[in-house]
Structures are given as structure tokens and as C-alpha cells.
Structure 1
């Protein structure tokens, strides 16, 4: 205990000369001599401080806060300070007290002073007791609550407190508490894993807060000083940390986690981290893996294998030039781009099912993607260029290997859409329908590339074509459905393979190539196209196989089942259609199915049926049409048929709507069918539909629910700008009112399972209805500060003020038009939008800011009103890194470049917005601001040096912190465009950035800075005028050398060595004496001595 302001000591200091009581005493201690201020600064730097019994009116607190504020502005770093803050019963007093302490930078723990102080005394006593018990106390804090599943039956605020306490206990640096936690008997319940992994714990010395499972590694720099680097158990980059040991805390937590490998809680958590594991965790999970149940075995083998790691790829360097020539290294790039890997997400579980997993797809929803799908699509889009065709022909065999890897990964991971029983969803390979092909993605695009290259392959070298097609046949015989179809397509399109061999392939193996549904589009074409070419032996073999039917066990149906008859008839029909002579007893069956289309629609209940169309219904009476619609196999097909009916017979569409409601139609029938008119432009028809929808909603109150209200909201959103007359408006607004009431009562939408972000809001009924009002507002004659139109304001009020999901979605949509609404009605916007942007729950604040930052127009008046809300959101921005944190970085960067004083202004007790941003921003947010600066530099063109000297340079020099743990390769990459567009300010830009350690790289880490920076530097002989000004290796060789040295400290990837070597040659030519410098020699060694 320290008596900072003295202690009454009658014997030693009878006159009280050591006491600090008067204003003069405080002035001497805190201002003139400053010894108390220095002590307080050290106290707050080293300890977590709690004020007990203090008031904001106390001179002591005023002096303390002033001392802290002065040191904070000088760059000091402190632990958080807390205060027990009493408040009275007056309305709004609690909020006022909290806000007042927050403004001082001290975290209030509010309590009602009417409750007296017994509870506070008990809390402080309990804290002191736990502190005295030391390690045993921390172990108890960690173990006791976690013996039972999460969450405990307590209020949310208490659960959060328990989580914070457990995280604090486990964070003991030597790992001793975590070890007891991992060795606990019984072991702590794995349901605590996900919530514990989200708790952030402040670190010392101004470091960013860390999470338990991402704790910094205790590594030492070359100078022997500890330089902690995050070493997560799982997450982005974790698999690359082979040389970075885990902290004792995460090591022990990894042991605990591995004990629960057969738990969905652990697999779900690893999935949420992208399936990337630290090598230690992968090793622990792999130990005695065969003892686990099969689904978990399969899941962990996939994760541990590294199949979820995106292959390292240097970037898209050549596609823009494909119209002129094929680059020398184009083949290497295409094969790298075509290399597949897996992504993973949690699977859908109906009603949160707790059933144990029966297969790996019950544990994880895997997907196969290509390393760079855009590059493969670029090649496909240029397929008609001769030089591209020639390149693809040369690469057909290795591209086949990539497709085989796709099949292998898909089958191991049970990827829906690519495994043999699901490949049916891929359309006919011979289709040249651009609309269909545009929907092909990833691996299927690779398949398409091989399909379109086949004619050129055979034309250029028949022998090579034969070898390739036979390879496809071999892979097809192994059961890979994609290759069965690819081989059948090749056997139809070319004569490379003898017909007898082709028939043996079709009938061979386990029968899937000839009988299973997935090969039917290609098999149908093959039988029809080749029927006249079959020899008698080949045709007889096919007919015998058809007569015998599918092999036993291939289908669960009996030989006489309708499905078997249909399968036999379809195959006979294609042979007859192609001109084959069939035995007389089979002709009737063949004729029955002769006109069957090649592409059929699958139905679980009935096998394969020909899809019905709107033409089948359009001529029927309303009652019969409604019955026919409801006879479809599912409501998805019902909805599409109803939507098509609107185009075919608008009058019948109106007639069947009430009939469908009376018959209990629901789901996608309404979601798709009611949205059919949303693109209408005819005002008269729109008015009629609005009246019909309103009457149906009034007559059938329960109809307007779930997907029906979503479709109506979609239509209203589309028609908002077209409802211009007063008569139309008086029909539009009542329907809007009915739809709004329905949207606020629906809590079943799957949208509510997602975070309340912009993507969710623009698709949810509440957001669509808000969009309809905004579009309708555009038609009103409004003026600045004129207020919302009286006719519309009640609807804006109704949608903005409330706490249902629809209200939150509406506020998000309104926030996306914040500057416009603020200019129109400042008071309404401040109360309805800006206030919740400051004071709502962190989750809603993030959503509102996400809405605003979607298109963040601003003016000085709006920024003035937003200032407090900005300060309030900054501590939370990293919770939505990509949508809020990065956008705030770009936004504040833009504001700084336009109105620097707006973000630089500070007060005695509050830092500037820019300072607050940097204190909370992580690498991603800083990188976003750096990219915004680079984009403005690029847009400035010849004026970029002026922008550098007046704005960008001073920001980096004077305000950008040099803390190494937040300035990583992401931030370096963000500054690439600043350097590339600095022109004659390049030397100073290099000096500033290197001076703040903003250009960096680490071993084993993808160097995206070099990917971007080297991409846009001119190479030897390049004449592109747009980038000649970036030839800084010639103009400023010494600075370019220093920059490359810093950027390659972590090593040089093989695909960068060529360009680095070229730059070194340019530097040597421009200033020969640099070739003997240590930096040049070091760079040359890193580049392989080239």
C-alpha cells in the first residue's frame, strides 16, 4: 500500500508537512516538481489500477487524469484503469456517469449508490483473497466453471465475467495454470473452447491485446531482446510457423484441445480458423488417430494433410497480355493457378441437430477450389487465340493431373457437386450455352478448358490425342465420374479410339459409366452419335447389357421396377434414334423413349422425369392450373413455374394466387413466384399487383409470412422509384405497412443466423422495405434541412425505432444513405441513426458502421456529429476486420487527405481521431489506410509528389506509429502503391517508410509486398508509357537498393528472383559503385547469385 498523498503520523510528522492537502501542495506534486505525476505514470504503466471512493469532482482525480493524458499524448502506453462509479436514481444519471468516466479514459464499473456498499466490499475482499492464494486460486478460477458445459445458467453479463476470469487465470505466462487445465480430471468441457478463444487479454508494454489461443511466441531477436510474434494454435498462417515455438500457454491448451478430437466443438472451432493448424497441434491431433471414429479420422486426416492450405502463388502477372502472345512462363503460371486445394466451413445442421456424425460431410462442408480461378478463366476467355490454344494443347496432360487431384480431394472430402453421385448437377459437357458456362466455376472451369481443347489436341497430333483420351478412360474406370463423362465426350467427338475399345469402356468396370445417372448426358450423345458406326459384335454387346439391366446392387430397385424399365428404354431409344437396327421385341420399348431429352431433371422420389414448363399450365383453367402447380415435387419448382406463368399468362397468374393461398401453398412458391413482377416497368400493371397483394394480405393475414413477405418486400423495393402519383402512393404505403408488420414478426428466416451486416440487410425483408422507402424518398421534392416529407416520416420512424431484426436491418440500410438523410433532416438522423451508432450494443454499432462505410460520403457537418460515434466504434472495429475495420482505415485516410484538421484535432482529455485509430487498429486496418493513401497517390498522377509533401509524407513521418507488432507484411503491401506512384518523391518516401519499419518481411511468410511492387515495375526494354515513371531502380538506385534489402529480409521466393536480378542489374548500371556494397552483395546472394 502506498500513501501517495501522505499519511497522518503524530510522532514523526506532527505538523502534517508531508501531507498533500492544499491546491499548492497538489500543484507542487503534480506540476512544479512533478514527482507524483511521474509515480502515477509508472503506476499505470505497470499495474491495473482501480479507483475506489473517488469522484470526478475530486482534485486528486483531476490531477491524476491530467498527468495520464499528458503522457498518453507523448506516446505512453498504459494498462486500463477502472473506477467504482456510483450513480443515483435520476433518469439518465447512469449513462451520464458512464460517459463522463469514459471521456477521461477510465473504465467505469457503475453501481447504484442506493444499494449501499456491502456488495463492493465483498467483491474487493474476494479479489484480495484470490490474490493471496496465488497459483491455487488461478487454477480454481480456470477449472471450476469449465467442468460443466458452456454456457452456465447465468445472465449474459455474468457469463462474460466468468469468461474473462478464466482467460485471465489461464494467461499466467509460465503456462502452469494452463498445464493444470490440460491435466484436469475430468477434462474441462470442450464447449468452452469457442467462447474462450474470443476473449482478448491486454498485454504489457503497449502491445495489442492477444487471445489465449493466439498467444505470442517467446522468441528473441538477434539482439537478445524479446520480440513477441503471434503464434496461433490454428488460423491464418499457423501452418507456416514451423520454426516459431508456441508459448507455454498455447502449448498446454493445445494438449487439452487434442484430448477432445472426437468433439464437434473442436472440429467446428478448427473450421472457423480455416482448418490451418500450428505444426505442434497437427502432431498432437495425429497421435493414435486410428483410435477415433471414422468420420473424425477422415476429417482430421484431411486437415492435417495440408489440403486446406492455399498453394503459394505469385499473382496474376500475365493475363492482360494474352491477346498479344503467350508469356514464356505462362505454362508455369497456369499450372500453379490450376492446382486445387480445399476450403471448409461448418455444415448445415437441421435445427441444430445433435446427432453423432456418420460421415465426414456431417462434420465439415468442404469445397474444392483452384489456386487462382480468375487466371484459369482468363485463359478460357482467350481460348480462341491461336497462341493460347497451342499452349493449352501442350499442357493438356498436366491439366488432366490437376483435374485428377480435384477428383481425389472431392472424394476424400465428400464435396457436394463433385463426388460421383452429385456430378449430375454439372450440365452437358458439350453445351455451348454461354449462360450455362458462365455458372461453371473452379474445377468445372478446368474441366471445360479440357473439353474445348480436345479438337485442337487431336487435330495437332492424333497419337497424342489417343494417349490423352485413353488416360481419361483409365481414370474413368477407377470410378471418377468426371473422367467417365470426359471420356464419353471424347469418344463421341473424335475417332481416336477404336469403337470396340470404346464399347468395352462403356460397359466395363462396375457399370456406373453405362447405367448411373451422372453420365447420362454424355452417354446419350455417344449412343445416338455412334449408333450407325457400331459393328455387329459391339451392338450385340450393348443390347445384351441393356436387356440384362443394371448390375445387381447398383440400384436398390428390383429388376421389374419402373425405374429399371425407364433406364433400359432410354438407352434403347438413343440407339434407335441414331439408326441402329434393334431386335424386334425391343423396338416398342425403344420407340416409347426415343424422343427423351438428353438432360433430365432429378427427383428423389421418382428417379428421372422430363421437366414440366409454364406452357403446360398456361392454357388450363385457374383451378386446374393451381392443382398442377401444387403437384410439382417441391416448392422450389412450384415457385419457378409460377414465376414463368406470369410471363406466359398474366391474367391466369392473378387468378391462381388466391387459389394457392386457400390450398396452403408456402415456402419457395411464394418466394420465387411472387417476385416475378419485380422488374416490371408498366405503372398500370404495378398498381394492379400492389392492390392484389394488399387485398390478399388483408384477407389472409397469415399468408404474408417468411418467403412471401420477402418477395413482396423485394417487389416494393424495385417499384419504389416508379410509384409517383398520389393515388399510387396511397396504395403503395398500406401494402408497405402490412409487409413491415409481417417482417417484424418473422423470426425463422435463415438470414437471422448470420451477423446483422450489409449483405444480410439488403437481402432481408426489413432491409428491402427500408430500401423501398429510400427510393420513394428520391421522388419527393425535398430541400436541405427541410425535414423528411410528412407523408413518409411516420414510416421512417416506424422502421427506424425498434429492436426486432427488421428494425436493425432498416437502420443499416438508412446508415448506407447517412449523408443524404443527414442533409435532409439532421435532427432525425442524429436521433435515429447517429445515436445508436454511438450507444447501441457493439454488435449493432458495427452493423450500422458497416452500412455507412458501404458508401461513405461525408461533409464537415456530418463528421462533426459523427465524432463521438467514431471514438466509440474504434475499440470494436477489429471485430469485423474486413467490413468495418478496413473500411474505417480507408475512410479516415480519405478524410485526412481532404480535411486533415478533422482527424488531427485533440482536446485536453481526448486524443485526436487519428491517434485513437492507431491505438486500436491492427495490421489489417492500417494496411487499408495505407492502400487508401496509395490509391490517392495513383489518382494524383503528376501531382503525386505534391500530395506526398503536403499530406501523405507528414502523416507517415509525424503520426504513423512505429510499433513493429502491428506493422507487418500486410501494412508493407498497403504502401506498395505509395512507393510506385511517388515519382520524384520516391527517395523521401523510402526514407520515411524504412525509418518507421513499415517495409518488412519474415521467413516463411508470403511476401505480398513484392508480389504487388514488382508486378508494376517496368522490366528491361518495356516501353509502357504508363509505368515508365516508376523506373526508380535507374533514377534512384541507392534508395531502391535499401528498399529491396528491407523487403527481402525474410528471403526471396523463386518467382521473384528473376525480377530482383533484373533490378540489381539496372542498379549496377545506373551506379556501378553500389555493386560492391554489402547490401548489394547480400541481395545478390538472396536472389541466388544471379
Structure 2
């Protein structure tokens, strides 16, 4: 593959063009580059002899005639008395002409640059015309920096390699401030440079290992070519990593290329001589214009490539010649930026086969590219046939993409739409991908063509799938089953929908489809499959059906909200009954009977719902069905059975209604007797039975069919259950009822209605109820009437049986909600007084709740409460025999434990005394002593609270806990590690505390794990002192640690600690000074310079984003911050990394530095998607137009995907 811009011009190999675009090419320039303004080597020799007034000897003439010009000059230098005269003559002949034409040199400068946009040109010329061309775009000092000569050459492959490198020396240039260096002009000079010393040959050999070399301005017989390439050819056999060497050379005709290049292992790039003014083929006019076009491509590859691609792809594939196909392959190989242009440009689909054959895309890209092209003309038979072929090649991903794009097409002919839709579903099972989600299918269901497969897919989305969650976190108190008997012994299985968000709307869309019977059959099949899966995973087992609780109502109801599982499938079936019955009553009756036969309860509930529809079943059939229900189903189902009683009793035969009423009146006790009551548990069964009988009898009464016996029983229930002496409400149809945010609020009515002497017993009974509302009744009573609750408990024994009741009352008083209650304070004081006689065993049962109440009580003003501290703390320590879980966050746990809470309460009370200028009583100091020495888990929590407030504890007059805290923090055990973590992750630590516990701080930061604020808080413990010392605010003695300690901690500590520092300095750059540049220069910059590890092993990829953001946030100090931080950055991975740059002004203010940063983050080797980079590049170009030619910018622009 090659690029040619003109008939007579050179053909540039693809490999060379790719190398140019990646900055891997160095041009090696000979005398021809400066011709005809300066003489070539032969003319230089002639002029040199003439200027010295010396004739050539016979041997010199022979060397000259054979183009061995260095030999002629070597002989001359030996013949004349002062060899320096010859050098002066050479220099004199090479002085640049006035108003020199530098166009060739500019072109070379445009082409021969590395990816960091530094010129990288090697030349055997002595003149400085390339430097003069560079001076047009760079300052003189920069030009001098880039110019190298003689043996002082930058090593190829090094980080700083580049410049204009005169390997044979350079003449002086006063305008540029360049000195003359020794010149390689004679055979002796060449022998030393290439053989005896060999510095030139070593340089060129290393260069060939690191760069692709292009010779321009030479012929095959020139001295540098002979000396260099002969050596290189020998080395190429031993060193296969040598890069290609190309030579641009002129020929009369292309088939007459100089064969000497092949002998030198050089790939010639030939162009044809053009006729000069005299009609002789000597002009190089075909070369330089084409090199300029090549430079255009290298400088602006994206625009040029788009123009080429548009011109080639617009043709029929068969009309493209081999060169154009090679061009196209080169354009698309390894790049994705032209596909958006190819899709609207291509007319002939054969181009896509070409892309596949040449492997110019990934299969993923192929799917969306071909699909996007196909949908541009859905009425094309050719495109349809091609779609069939591509479906076979690409499979499901292509079918999904094509289907998605077809949905976006408007006004397609219905016939074609049907054909394309059928095509997209002609693959195997498509699974549950995002294209199949509810909102997508709803659009299909509204369309003019709805296929049976669409209905199947839509119903499948309403069918729950199995999801397993590991662990038994909800049942940790249950013994592990070994060996396991069912799936739930190993994991928590549940049936869940993949797209609950759009499920309700999808149900409505399906109901609107005029095919209710078809949908009823499909949905019934899915329900059977769900029931089968439920049997497999144990959701249905015996008389238990987990799906029953997942469906509060089989018909749509507000209680169904926020439920998962089969809820939407069941709702769909319930809504389809009536319209399907109109189509085929017998078929629907058959389906309903099939539901009843399904295992579990859910199918029967659907069948019961169907009994309510007079168009399906008459009333006698409905009541006969109720009579035939098993006892367990008759009493387990509430809503659907009750509604059948209400809706159909009025029209049913009297004997059938009477039979059902007798079941209601007589069967219940036998059903509830199967539930065993454990020792100490209140017997809830009579309450539950009365509630169920009450509901069923009420339904018959509403239908006007309740007998006298039934009426009498209903009255008796209302008499003995005052809370049932009312009409039926909506919540009575449900086992649990959600009224909003709080699903369960507790039913306190039975306790309220109880007689004064019976209230305690009723409270005990409701605590053991299986009805969650009743079970929470005492808790609700405590919240709404704490005075009544305390009065109920005051005379009761302080024993194990009443401890749960006390816990609820104490909890209700601990953290009151709403407005301040003036009655709460005396109530709390009275409660503590009532509990005064309590013995230790009882206190251990309520200690945690009492600690909460103590914390929130007005203890400072109530000595009677304050005196409880020691009793509560002792009880809490005695009760808690669990070991401390050191995998958890100690501070997060301690604030919710009695030991931690009580210790914090003591510290708060000490602070209050001190603020009031009151003496700190000995009882509070004794509390601190008890906290720091307590054993067990609660002791650890208490010590954690003291460590968290370490800075405050140190200031307490008379305290003696500091040495004990130091000892606890200095330990090697798990508790000591946890305490050190509390110390270093606390957001506050004074310099006094830092000095006292400095050893623990330094040790703690070395043990750091975690993320977020913990990391930054810990990092602050070591870098805040360092920053304070650097800024002269405090000394190392003040902090107990210094800059060296911070540096050592960062070097020895975990990655998490350095992450915390990197995050923290980003925050501090905004806090140290309003001027962020000042903040960098006086704080963050010196700090990082002093403490951040310089070893390469500490350069972590995750810091790159932090440091890049920090540099950007440093304001006007961005260039210097970038210079300091850049060595610590690496390439980014994944998504993002440009947000800070995008929202800042650095692209406009510091365009070149911004490009340097982008290059560091997103240059060669990155796995980032470069999202956001193109917009930043556009801003750079807008602010500094010259930067568009920067090779790095063009590389980034090509690699980034533009969403156009």
C-alpha cells in the first residue's frame, strides 16, 4: 500500500506514512536539500580548489571523477602548508545567500518531528539553513537549544532526543549565535568518524534502532551513504530490530531506479526528474510539492483523511483501483473516526465486505455500522439481501442493533417494516438485553405490526427470573443447616423482574392489544413456568407459597406498588379475563380451572378472582367452588375469597350459601389449632380466628345473605373484640397494609381498649401476635401515650417477662420526634426513679436502651439521672460478652453502643461544666477512669470514644487517663490497631494531641485502609504538621513530628495513605489562599516537593487524575505546578479525566502546557476512551492556532472519538 500525490511524484509506503503520523521518522538530509542555493559536495570540492588556487593532482582528479570527494579533499589537506585554509575555504563557500529560499527546509521541519512536536532532523550538511527555517517559528534561544553538531550529539532513544543534528559538523552562524564545530570533510575525518573512533556510525546505528530513517538530498554513491549504510547492512544481519531505511531519489523513469540502493539494503522511494528550462531531465519539481502534501497529511491528518475517504467510498467498489483500495485500507485500519462519514457516503454495500476481508473493524463495530447503513433505505431489496448475509455473519449483536435502528425509522412502508422486523427476530432466543426492556416493547406494541413474537417477548419481561443473593444476613441467628436441604440453606433466592420501572405501563400496553385470548394463554404458560421454578427453589413447599405474599391483590391495587416477583404477570392475567371472555368464554373457563390446579396458592387466588365475573361463572358455580376448597386454602386466602362472598352470595342458592357459612362458623378452630404456641408466648390464635371469621361474615352480611346464627356470631365477635366493632375497611382485606412511607405503624387499639387492670396482660399478648400491626401495638402505645405506658409498668415486676415492654417504652422516650414535649423531662426522671430498685440481671436486659435515654436526657440538670452513669456502664459491660469485630469501623460502632455513648455523655458533661466555670466533679473523672480500664467489647468502645476526643481529653484538669490511652494505642493487638484508626481518621487533632500521641499517629497512618474522608483525615495528620512547619506557623517540637516523618510515612505507608494525601492537597489548594497560585507556590508545591516519594516505584496510575486536577486548580501557577507534578503522572485508564480541564480556563491561558498534560494522560498506550478530549483540543486551536500543527494534538485528535 502506498500514497502518491502526482504521476511523477514519489510513492510513500504505508509503513512510512504510519510512522510519520506517530512521530517515529527522522529525515537524514544531504546537500540536495539546500540545492541549488548552496553547492553539492562535488561543486564544493571544485570551488575549494579554485579558491585556494590549487590544481587537482592526477590521483585527486581520479577520486573526484569517481565521486570520492572526501578523498580529493583529504589529499588536498595534506598537500597544502596550512590545512586550516582548506576548512576556511569550505566554510566560505557555504555561507547562506541573502534572502535564502527556505521552503525545502520548512517542509522537512514539518515532516521530521517526534510526537512531542520536537524537530528531529539529522543532516550531513554544514550549513544552518534548517535552523534559519526553524527560527521563523521559534525564538533564537530555542533554536540554539535544538542545534547539535560534531560529537556532542543527543543519544537516540533517550527521552530528550531531538533537534537539528549535524553529524559532520556545523559552520558558525552569527545571527543565530551558533559557533563553528569541527567538520567531517576529508577521508581522514570520515575514517575517524565512521571507523577508528566510530562515533558517527554508532550514532546512526542507534538511530536506526529507534527511528525510521528517510534519506533525502543524497544519491546512492554519496560518501555518507557509503560509509554509513555499508556498516548498517552488516549489522542488520545481527540486529533484526533495526528499523527500515528509505531513500528518496530521482530517476529518469521509474523502471530505471538506481540498483545501488538495493545493494545497500535501502528501500528507494523514487520520483521522476522533470525537464528543466533547457529541456533536460534535471528538475526535482515532482518531489517538493508532494512532500508538502505529505506534510499537510501529517499535520492535519483528520481533515485530509476525511477528504480522501469521501472521494474513494463514493465510488462503486468495482470501480476502485488497487491503489484506492490500499488507500481505503490505510484510512480505516486501527481507526474509528471515519465510520460516521462512511455510512452516508457508501452506496455500494460491497465496501463492507472489503472492510471485513481486510479486518478493518471489530465485530461490535461491524454490527452498528452495517445496521446504520441498512436502515437508510428500508425499501431496498439489495440491502435486505445484504442484511440476511450479515445476520449470518454477525448474529445476535447485529440483530439487536438493526432492530433498535428500525424502531427509529419513521414512515417506513408497512410491508417492508414487517419484513425487517421478522428479520431481526429470526435469531435464537434474544435474552434480556436492554433493547428488550419494557419501554422499547411498548413502542412496538403501539406500532402497525405486532408479531406473536412481540407478545411473547413482552410477557417474558413481566415474568420474574431467579436471583440469588449470597449469605444469610437476615437469618444470622438461625443455625446453619448442614448438610443443606434446600437452596435457601445456601443462599437467598428470589424471583425478580429485570425491568420493574416500565412494567405497569407494559401491562397497560398489552391489555390494549386486541388479542386478549392469545395473551391470556401466553401469560398463563409463563405463570406455570414461574410456579415450576418456585417449586424448584423452594418458594412453594407444602402449604407454604412465598409468591402469595408477593401479590397483595391479584387485580390492580395500590397495595401492589413496590412489590416484585410475579405481581405484574398476575395483574395482566386478571385484567385479561373480561376481554378474553368476550372472545371465547369456554377457553377462559378452562384456563381458570388450570390456574386452580397449579401448585401453591397464587393460581387458586386467580381462579377465585374469575369466580367474581358473572360472564364466566354463575353464582351457584362460584359458591360450589368455595365449598370445594380445601380447609387450608379457605382460611389462608383473604381478599379474593372475601370478595367472592360479597359479590356472588346475593344470587347463589340458599343451600350453597348456607354450606359456606357453616364452614366459616365451624372450621376455623381446627385450622388455627395446627399452630403451636411456644412457652412464654401469648396465644394469638383466638384473635386471628375472630378477625378472619369477622371479615367473612361481614361479606355475607353486605350481600344480604347472613343467617341469624351468623348474625349472632358476628355480634359476639364485635362484643369481645372492641377493635372489630366497626365496618370493614380496605386494609382488612390484606395481611399487611402499607399506608405510605411507614408500612407498619402498630395497632395500639387493643391496649387502649383494655381495662386498667388488664392492660399489662394485653400488652404481653400483642407482643407475641403473628399480626405485625398488633405486634407493634405496644410500641405505638409507648410513642403516643408514654405516660400511660409508664403507669402500666410501674407496678409490674422488674423481671425478664416485662423487660421487652420496658425496652419499647425507654426507646420511645430516648429520641423523641417532633416538637419539644414539656412532659417528657419529668416522665424521664420518674422512669429512672421507678427503675432504681432494679437489680443487675434486669438492668443488663435494658442497659443499651437506658444508655440511649441517659444520653438524650436532661441529666446535667437532674442529679438523680446523672448518678446512674456507673450502674449503666457496669451493666453494659457485664451484658456484652461478644468479641469485638475488628473488621468493622470501631468509631461507627461505638456511637451506637452503650459503652461508647456513655463515655461520650461523660465527656459532654465535663465540657458543659467547664464552659459554666464549674468544677469537674470526681464522679466524672471516675467515669473516665472506668471507661479507659473497662474490659471486653464495651470497654473497647469506651476507649474508642476517648481516643476520638483525644485532643479534648488532654485538656481535662485532673484526668489520669492519658498514660492508659497511650498504652492502649501502643499495643500490638487488634484493639490497638482499631484505636489507632480512630485516632488518625478523626477529622480533628490538635497540635497538643499530635505531640502526645505522635508515635501512635505515625503508626496508625501506616496501617490505613479504606477510602473517602477516612483517607483524607488520616493524611491530614501527617501533612498538616509538615505544611505548618514549611510555612513557619509552628515547629516540629509543637507537633511531635516533622517533615521527615511525613515523608517517611508516605514512603513506608500503604497506597491508601498516599491516595488520601493526593485527594487532600486538591482540597487545600482552594483553602490556603484565595489566590490559588499563591497557595501552590507557598504551600502545596513546596509540601509535595518535600514529602512525596520520588522513586519510580511509587508512581501509581490512580494518582495521575489527582495530580492533573491539582495542576489545573493551581491557577496562574499551572505551568510550574505541571512541571513539578508531570513526572509523577502516568497514562489514564477507563473513562473520564478531563473534567477539571474542561471547566477551567487553562486551555485558553496555557495552551501548550495543557497539550503537554493531555499528552501525558492520554498519549500512546492509554486505555482511556479520551472522552472530552476533542472539545479541549478545539479550544486549544482556537486560543493558539499554531498549535494545530503539533503532532501530539493531531495524534490525540485521531485517537479520540468525536460524537458528531
TM-score bin (small chain):
0.3 to 0.5
Q: Which has the higher contact order (CA 8 A, sep 6+)?
A: 2
Q: Give the alignment's TM-score, normalised by structure 2.
A: 0.44
